[in-house]
């Protein structure tokens, strides 16, 4: 008998099972990946252990299990378009996994998986199928007979239960490169008895049947896929398993769809109560509810992990996911107002227990989603209007095909899916130029591929090193040996990446930019333009490869830049501390950038900082600087302990991480960056801007030390220049003096306006002395004595409202140049088709000028005031023909 459990109980059951087999249960790693250029989101439980598999990091413990939050919406594993339309694909999902780092292998992995499913959860054996790798000659990987043997011992009757599949199904790879190996999967058949009698389950394995599905994948990691496509044997053999938690819940809860489990039902019933539409009554509604329930999780967890919707990289991925949910809400559920944010509390109630980060960020997540929804609904509305306008124009032009470029613009800028555009066109009996659209799409894809293209060659290893030793906390120079290098093409430009056995160069991370500098062997000097971190490697970007990479080099960091950066980094910590003192403990760091020139600090806070708050923050920081507080660093603190010390948690810590705690008095932070020895060297901090970056997130930019000095000197110099212009001896009186000038200036403006309007009235009256009567309308024309085109405009505006049968053609010589103005009353524009722009263009040649405007008012400027009279005469001649 199947034992029915809710999701939280089931997760705990899995942990218990592996805990009793000596596994340590570790936390899920962040779903948003930092420091790995090949991956934006965690897409499998094994990601956080990649370096252990590759041998770059020693495992602390050899048996581990957990539940990992994964997102599969980009790169090698991408299920986005499936989500909602079937009942078992997701963007975000939980992967239950157990791992052996060079410890147990196939036998235990298979036996335990079998025991957990059939004994612990009592899933009947006759519903299970397993698969093994059939082997591949090209790859020189043999058939996995070993696993076959173990599975045979599991089943009471193995006949027809163990199936062989090729590389596509049974050789698992993390991405284009990286750890990989043959795998063995467990599939479950959930169809009812009649169906199962008709078609045996083994014919449906790996065939896309929603009720015959894979639930657990056991990967036997033995290889590393290299950039040149070949496999290299790893130093040890590992186990990496992944079980789809949502699918397992479905099985255990006796459901036929993942969305019918308690994981999703709480959100779906919330959607039902908001929309008044019941789940399970209408396929169109159901798809939308599944999409929304799924996407809500993906977006909320990403935001909890520190990501914000934006226009590039990972931020763009979650923006697209959220927009997809909004569109389904609009199209299928007919809700045109933001509502997804209202589902956040239900999600947090359901999942916050196992994922506390969700609970902490609940408010923030709701606000971010609300803001995105609101903005996107506006954009959709704009897109609708653009499409409507173009359809009207096409109708007038008697055309029935919309240009591909417009559909593409709607798609690209307004998030309009092309099938929606097509639907609207069909309703108007029109079609889309689909080829044109696809061409535009392809153009964009090519462009973004070029932008993102990074081609990395394979590493040439000179000396095996587990990890580079970073020596740059204490000094900025060291003797180093190259341990590996490779050539990399970034956007078509070739650079060389160097890894050393030890290095004083700080690699970009935690907001602090990477060091620059040089390496030299005495004969040759190579410039290092940047330093990056990739997994556990510290990579130096060099312009070229040294002639002899095997010798020893003196590595020298650009110390001036490093010192300036350190000032800014330590100041960032003090700023964080001061912000919490002034604004309260709800202030949390949301991001930072520390360069030699300035610092940028993003933090959670909902209102603009007042002038007093800003000065309060500055004054706390500057007094801490003047106290010259000594740096206090503890290295290699286990992650959990550091949190206990009260240091702020960061994003992206991984299992096994040991962290560094940096303190300046009461300011204590987890930080791997480099810092001043004592705060006095920062000199001073000056905030130069405070702004909003997203809902609930503010950004402060500041400068320190010589940067602050320069900033203040610039302001003082400007003040002194103003004082000199005002003939003042010092800057002390400039505020009152400038204030007086501003007031005088506005009074003068008013006087000038009054004078111009009077002058316009006088000139108009003069012109009205000799009005020319033409065919159904009257012409007023004349050259005005005016010192500004504004007077001509004033005459036009006085006349425009007074009657509906007037044309005004007037000009003036203003500071040696000619101005010409044509005004046509609205009725003449529509009835007589007199157009001010056309008329102006035909006479502007006389003043050697050009201009434009609207059908009722057009203005030109020209070089030749002598031609004004001729222009007026010409206008009259033209108008006589109407
Ligand atoms: N890494 C394996 C997977 O993701 C378990 O399927």
Tens of pLDDT, residues 667-702: 999 888 999 999 999 999 999 999 988 778 899 999
Q: What separation in Å is there between the alpha carbon of 365 and the centre of ligand 1?
A: 29
- Best residue among 242, 244, 246 to mutate for probing ligand 1's pocket (most ligand atoms within 8 Å of CB) is 242
Q: What separation in Å is there between the alpha carbon of 33 and the centre of ligand 1?
A: 17
Closest residue by Cα to residue 344 from 315, 373, 320: 373
d(CA 334, CA 148): 52
Tens of pLDDT, residues 763-817: 999 999 989 999 999 999 999 999 899 999 999 999 987 888 999 999 999 999 9
Q: Is the minimum distance from the CB of 219 to ligand 1 under 6 angstroms?
A: yes
**Residue identifier of the C-alpha nearest atom 3 of ligand 1:** 242
* pLDDT reading at 455 higher than 80: no
Q: Is the minimum distance from the CB of 241 to ligand 1 under 6 angstroms?
A: yes
Beta strand ranges found along 588-733 (DSSP E): 589-594, 599-604, 631-638, 658-664, 667-670, 685-694, 697-704
pLDDT of residue 182: 97
Mean pLDDT of the chain: 91
Q: What separation in Å is there between the alpha carbon of 318 and the centre of ligand 1?
A: 22
pLDDT of residue 693: 82
pLDDT of residue 1: 53
DSSP one-letter string for 315-339: HHHHHHHHHHHHHHHHHHH---S--
Placement of tokens 């819940």 in the chain: 249
**Residue identifier of the C-alpha nearest atom 4 of ligand 1:** 44
356 vs 615: which has the higher pLDDT = 615
pLDDT of residue 586: 83
What is residue 433's three-state secondary structure? Answer: coil
d(CA 265, CA 87): 13
Sign of torsion over alpha carbons 548, 549, 550, 551: positive
d(CA 177, CA 230): 9
* pLDDT reading at 77 higher than 70: no
Instruction: For residue 333, give both structure tokens.
Output: 């559920």
d(CA 581, CA 666): 11
Strands 401-402 and 231-244: unpaired
What are the distances in angstroms from CA 730 to CA 553, 711, 712, 735? 56, 20, 17, 11
Helix axes 362-396, 344-351, angle to 10 degrees: 140
Please classify residue 156 by burial: count the beta carbons closer than 10 Å to its beta carbon, then call 0-12 exposed, 13-18 middle and 19+ buried.
Answer: exposed
Tens of pLDDT, residues 821-855: 999 999 999 888 999 999 999 999 999 998 889 99
d(CA 878, CA 843): 9
Are the C-beta atoms of residues 185 and 172 closer than 8 Å to each other?
A: no
- Best residue among 41, 42, 45 to mutate for probing ligand 1's pocket (most ligand atoms within 8 Å of CB) is 45
H-only helix segments in 33-101: 50-54
**Residue identifier of the C-alpha nearest atom 2 of ligand 1:** 242
d(CA 582, CA 617): 6
Closest residue by Cα to residue 536 from 651, 640, 675, 656: 656
Q: What separation in Å is there between the alpha carbon of 856 and the centre of ligand 1?
A: 69
Tally of CA atoms within 13 A in the half-sphere of 270 that contains its CB: 22
Ligand 1 atom nearest to CA at 46 = 1
pLDDT of residue 272: 96
Q: Is the minimum distance from the CB of 239 to ligand 1 under 6 angstroms?
A: no
Are the C-beta atoms of residues 480 and 520 closer than 8 Å to each other?
A: no
Instruction: For residue 358, give both structure tokens.
Output: 């969700």
pLDDT of residue 795: 95
Residue 478's DSSP bridge partners are 555
Contacts of 37 (CB under 8 A, 6+ apart): 454, 534
Q: Is the minimum distance from the CB of 186 to ligand 1 under 6 angstroms?
A: no
* pLDDT reading at 302 higher than 70: yes
391-402: b (≥16 Cβ within 10 Å) or e: beebeeeeeeeb
227 vs 526: which has the higher pLDDT = 526
Whether the full predicted model's pTM is greater than 0.95, yes or no, is: no
Closest residue by Cα to residue 187 from 136, 261, 117: 117
Q: Is the minimum distance from the CB of 180 to ligand 1 under 6 angstroms?
A: no
Q: What separation in Å is there between the alpha carbon of 267 and the centre of ligand 1?
A: 27
Q: Is the minimum distance from the CB of 478 to ligand 1 under 6 angstroms?
A: no
Q: What angle do CA 758, 760, 766 make, to 5 degrees?
A: 110
* pLDDT reading at 732 higher than 80: yes
Q: How large is the average pLDDT for residues 73-90?
A: 77
* pLDDT band per the 50, 70, 90 thresholds, residue 729: confident
Are the C-beta atoms of residues 44 and 68 closer than 8 Å to each other?
A: yes
Q: What percent of the chain has pLDDT over 90?
A: 70
Q: What separation in Å is there between the alpha carbon of 167 and the centre of ligand 1?
A: 14
Q: Is the minimum distance from the CB of 218 to ligand 1 under 6 angstroms?
A: no
Q: Is the minimum distance from the CB of 240 to ligand 1 under 6 angstroms?
A: yes
Q: Is the minimum distance from the CB of 109 to ligand 1 under 6 angstroms?
A: no
pLDDT of residue 650: 54
d(CA 639, CA 399): 66
Instruction: For residue 522, give both structure tokens.
Output: 């005495």
Ligand 1 atom nearest to CA at 219 = 5
DSSP one-letter string for 457-496: ---EESS--SSPEE-TTT-SEEEEEEEEEEEEEETTEEEE
Q: Is the minimum distance from the CB of 46 to ligand 1 under 6 angstroms?
A: yes
pLDDT of residue 803: 85
Tally of CA atoms within 13 A in the half-sphere of 618 that contains its CB: 21
Residue 402's DSSP bridge partners are 432
């Amino acid at each position: 008998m199947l034992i029915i459990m809710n999701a939280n109980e089931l997760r705990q059951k899995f942990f218990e099972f592996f805990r009793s087999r000596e596994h340590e249960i570790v936390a899920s790693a962040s779903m948003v990946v930092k420091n790995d250029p090949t991956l934006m989101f965690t897409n499998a439980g094994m990601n956080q252990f990649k370096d252990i598999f590759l041998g770059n990091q020693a495992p602390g413990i050899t048996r581990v299990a957990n539940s990992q939050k994964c997102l599969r919406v980009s790169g090698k594993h991408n299920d986005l378009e499936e989500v909602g339309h079937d009942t078992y694909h997701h963007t975000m999902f939980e992967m239950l996994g157990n791992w052996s780092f060079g410890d147990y292998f196939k036998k235990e992995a298979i036996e335990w998986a079998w025991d957990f499913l059939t004994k612990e959860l009592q899933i009947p054996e006759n519903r299970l199928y397993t698969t093994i790798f059939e082997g591949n000659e090209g790859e020189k990987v043999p058939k996995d007979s070993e696993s076959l043997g173990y599975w045979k011992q599991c089943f009471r009757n193995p006949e027809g239960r163990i199936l062989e599949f090729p590389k596509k199904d049974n050789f698992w790879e993390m991405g284009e490169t990286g750890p990989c190996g043959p795998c063995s999967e467990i599939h479950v058949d959930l169809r009812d008895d009649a169906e199962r009698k008709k078609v045996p389950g083994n014919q449906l394995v790996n065939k896309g049947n929603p009720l015959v599905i894979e639930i657990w994948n056991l990967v036997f990691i033995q290889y590393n896929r290299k950039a040149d496509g070949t496999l290299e044997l790893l130093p040890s053999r590992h186990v990496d398993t992944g079980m789809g938690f949502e699918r397992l819940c479905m099985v255990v809860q006796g459901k036929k769809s993942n969305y019918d489990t308690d994981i999703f039902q709480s959100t779906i019933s919330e959607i039902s109560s908001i929309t008044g539409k019941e789940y399970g009554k209408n396929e169109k509604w159901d798809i939308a509810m599944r999409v929304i329930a799924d996407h809500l999780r993906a977006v909320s967890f990403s935001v909890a992990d520190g990501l914000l919707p934006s226009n590039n990289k990972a931020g763009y991925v979650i923006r697209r996911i959220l927009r997809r949910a909004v569109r389904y809400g609009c199209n299928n559920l007919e809700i045109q107002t933001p509502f997804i944010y209202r589902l956040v509390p239900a999600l947090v109630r359901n999942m916050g227990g196992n994922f506390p980060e969700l609970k902490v960020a609940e408010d923030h997540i709701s606000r971010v989603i609300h803001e995105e929804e609101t903005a996107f609904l506006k954009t959709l509305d704009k897109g609708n209007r653009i499409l409507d306008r173009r359809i009207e124009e096409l109708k007038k032009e008697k055309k029935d095909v919309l240009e591909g470029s417009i559909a593409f613009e709607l798609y690209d800028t307004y998030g309009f899916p092309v099938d929606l555009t097509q639907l609207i066109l069909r309703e108007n009996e029109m079609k889309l130029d689909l080829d044109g659209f696809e061409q535009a799409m392809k153009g964009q894809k090519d462009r973004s591929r070029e932008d993102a293209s990074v081609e990395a060659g394979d590493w040439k290893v000179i000396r095996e090193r587990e990890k580079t030793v970073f020596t740059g906390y204490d000094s900025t120079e060291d003797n180093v040996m190259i341990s590996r290098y490779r050539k990399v093409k970034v956007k078509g430009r070739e650079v060389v990446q160097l890894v050393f056995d030890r290095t004083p160069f700080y690699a970009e991370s935690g907001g602090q930019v990477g060091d620059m500098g040089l390496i030299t062997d005495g004969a040759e000097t190579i410039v290092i333009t940047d330093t990056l971190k990739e997994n556990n490697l510290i990579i130096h970007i060099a312009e070229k490869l040294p002639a002899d990479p095997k010798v020893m080099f003196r590595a020298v960091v650009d110390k001036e830049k490093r010192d300036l950066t350190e000032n800014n980094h330590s100041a960032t910590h003090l700023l964080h501390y001061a912000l919490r003192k002034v604004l309260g403990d709800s202030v949390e760091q949301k991001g930072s950038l520390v360069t030699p020139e300035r610092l940028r600090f993003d933090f959670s806070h909902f209102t603009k900082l007042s002038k007093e708050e800003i000065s309060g923050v500055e004054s706390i920081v500057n007094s801490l600087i003047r106290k010259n507080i000594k740096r206090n660093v503890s290295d290699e603190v286990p992650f959990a302990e550091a949190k206990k010390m009260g240091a702020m948690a960061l994003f992206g810590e991984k299992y096994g991480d040991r962290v560094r705690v940096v303190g300046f008095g009461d300011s204590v932070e987890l930080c791997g960056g480099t810092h001043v020895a004592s705060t006095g060297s920062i000199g001073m901090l000056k905030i130069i801007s405070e702004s909003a970056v997203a809902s609930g997130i503010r950004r402060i930019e500041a400068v320190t030390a010589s940067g602050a000095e320069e900033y203040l000197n610039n302001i003082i110099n400007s003040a002194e220049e103003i004082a000199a212009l005002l003939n003042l001896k010092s800057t002390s009186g400039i505020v009152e003096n400038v204030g007086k000038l501003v007031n005088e200036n506005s009074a003068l403006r008013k006087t000038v306006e009054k004078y111009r309007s009077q002058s316009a009235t006088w000139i108009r009256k003069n012109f009205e002395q000799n009005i020319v009567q033409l065919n159904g309308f009257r012409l007023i024309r004349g050259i005005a004595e005016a010192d500004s085109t504004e007077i001509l405009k004033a005459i036009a505006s006085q006349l425009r409202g007074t009657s509906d049968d007037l044309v005004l053609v007037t000009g003036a010589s203003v500071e040696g140049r000619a101005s010409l103005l044509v005004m046509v009353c609205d009725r003449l524009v529509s009835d007589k088709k007199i157009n001010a722009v056309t008329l102006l263009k035909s006479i502007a040649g006389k003043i050697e000028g050009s201009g434009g405007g609207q059908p009722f008012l057009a203005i030109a400027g020209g070089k030749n005031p002598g031609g004004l009279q001729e222009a007026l005469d010409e206008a009259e001649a033209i108008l006589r023909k109407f």
